Amino acid sequence: SAVISQKPSRDICQRGTSLTIQCQVDSQVTMMFWYRQQPGQSLTLIATANQGSEATYESGFVIDKFPISRPNLTFSTLTVSNMSPEDSSIYLCSASRAGGWTDTQYFGPGTRLTVL
């Protein structure tokens, strides 16, 4: 298994500002992912964080709004830029050791973001 921590655990932000969420894994992993979960809803994949290269974004998510970094095999950040109330969600980081998306993913505890 893998233990994943996220910082901050929650935040309340003003419209128009940006927030960077950090994700730390306790050991090297192959794949890291960022998800958004709106209140009472399922998870939607934002992007796959690629080590040493640009993240791969899903339809509806763009780099200017959600820049992602992954400088090494245990750490990634997601920035939510120019926030609006519609960005209020839980943001979850996950990691997979082996084959990637088809194998078990380990999740962080999430970051609960409220935008006023």
Partner 1 sequence: SQQGEEDPQALSIQEGENATMNCSYKTSINNLQWYRQNSGRGLVHLILIRSNEREKHSGRLRVTLDTSKKSSSLLITASRAADTASYFCATDDTDKLIFGTGTRLQVFP
Cβ neighbours, 10 Å, residue 107:
16
3-state secondary structure at position 57: strand
- Burial of 76: CB neighbours in 10 Å, binned 0-12, 13-18, 19+: buried
Tell the smallest beta-carbon distance from residue 107 to partner 1 (Å).
Answer: 4
Residue of the chain from 17, 27, 103, 116 that contacts partner 1 (CB under 8 A): 103
Selected from 45, 50, 79, 81, the binder of partner 1 by CB under 8 A is 45
Asked if 67 is part of the footprint of partner 1 (rule: CB under 8 A), the reply reads no
Region near partner 1 per CB under 8 A, out of 14-22, 62-70, 74-82, 95-103: 95-103
